[in-house]
Structure 1
Amino acid sequence: MHIIKYLRSLQIRPNFVKKISLIQARHLQTDVFETTKVKYKYPPVYDPYGPRPPPSEKVTQLADQIMALTAEERAQIGSALREVLKHPKLEKISTEGLDLSGPAAGDAAQAEEKKEEKTAFDVKLEKFDAAAKIKVIKEVRALTNLGLKEAKDLVEKAPAILKQGVTKEEAAVIIEKIKAAGGTAAME
């Protein structure tokens, strides 16, 4: 309202002032912004490329000629097109190191022995001495880059995971630091 009074005091055209007041009044109306939901009918079969025109007469004749070839001649078409169009030769994918056969019943024991050694570990704070709570909070705060409140909450809800996905050496260092501060941590 103050804007309208100000504009009127400047003696700006009355049509402009009416437009502003209409906009303000319309803003308060709730039915202006209601929309009806449109239900979309999905086609029975989704085709991302849409309807396609039928092939040209030339393409149809070429397909007929290809069908008339023998199996050996059809097998040579791919390599001949690659040479003419100068496409790179397809390389075979190496399956070295992949076990493509399913585990047999007798191989279950061998499969357990072949299990790869874990490379990523989680460090879990299991418990801490009540007297050393402040030291443990300080150490957790230094290790995790958390704020004071977050580190305190984490320590108080022990057992809790401090760090995830660390190497075995890093986990051992973290466990030693927690032990020196007066807590007990374990590697998972």
Structure 2
Amino acid sequence: MSTTTNEIIEKLKSITLLEAAELVSQIEETFGVDASVPMAGGFMMPAAGGSVDQQPAVEEKTSFDVILEDVSADKRVAALKVIRNLTSLGLKEAKELTTSLPKVIKESISKEEAEAAKQQLEEAGAKVKIQ
């Protein structure tokens, strides 16, 4: 550390908690930053004319739906077998499910399970999407 940095650290060690809070407020106003928000990678400098923009964290999706979009007539029997296997529906219910597409086949499942179901349905000739 440089001599200036060492001097600042020594002065900071001697100030009261109230003085430290005032210092933080002045730093926030002067540099346009918010000290209450943790930032990865150290300090973020504000853009040319203003303060640092706060962007909400993007949450990673953890549950997925498998949606049956279409089944060609010649592949319907194979698709019905897979649908029945995936959903435990009876033959009548599975047929009804395929008459008014698109329909959700599986809801709120893991990505791996959704991918596996999609693969099985596509191999049987169905058109499927994961949402």
- Whether TM-score is above 0.5 comes out as yes
Q: 2:116 aligns with which of 151, 167, 173?
A: 173
1:106 aligns with 2:53: yes
1:140 aligns with 2:83: yes
Decide whether the 8 Å contact of 1:144 with 1:162 is kept in 2.
yes
Residue 115 (structure 1) shift: 1.2
Residue number in structure 1 paired with 2:93: 150
Residue number in structure 2 paired with 1:124: 67
Unaligned runs of 5+ in 2: 1-51
User: What count of residue pairs does the alignment treat as equivalent?
Assistant: 80
Rounded Cα–Cα distance in structure 2 between residues aligned with 1:141 and 1:183? 14
Give the structure with higher Rg (CA): 1
Unaligned runs of 5+ in 1: 1-104
Residue 106 (structure 1) shift: 3.2
Rounded Cα–Cα distance in structure 1 between residues aligned with 2:88 and 2:117? 13
Give aligned-pair identity as a percent.
Answer: 39
Residue number in structure 2 paired with 1:85: none
Structure 1 runs, 4 residues or longer, greater than 2 Å off = none
Rounded Cα–Cα distance in structure 2 between residues aligned with 1:171 and 1:159? 16
Rounded Cα–Cα distance in structure 2 between residues aligned with 1:138 and 1:158? 17
- For CA contacts below 8 A with separation 6 or more, give which structure has more relative contact order: 2
Across the aligned residues of Structure 1 and Structure 2, the Cα RMSD in angstroms comes to 1.3
For residues 35-50 of structure 1, the aligned pairs below 5 Å read none
Rounded Cα–Cα distance in structure 1 between residues aligned with 2:114 and 2:120? 10
Structure 1-normalised TM-score? 0.41
The letter of the residue matching 1:125 is L
Higher strand share: 2
Rounded Cα–Cα distance in structure 2 between residues aligned with 1:185 and 1:172? 10
Structure 2-normalised TM-score? 0.58
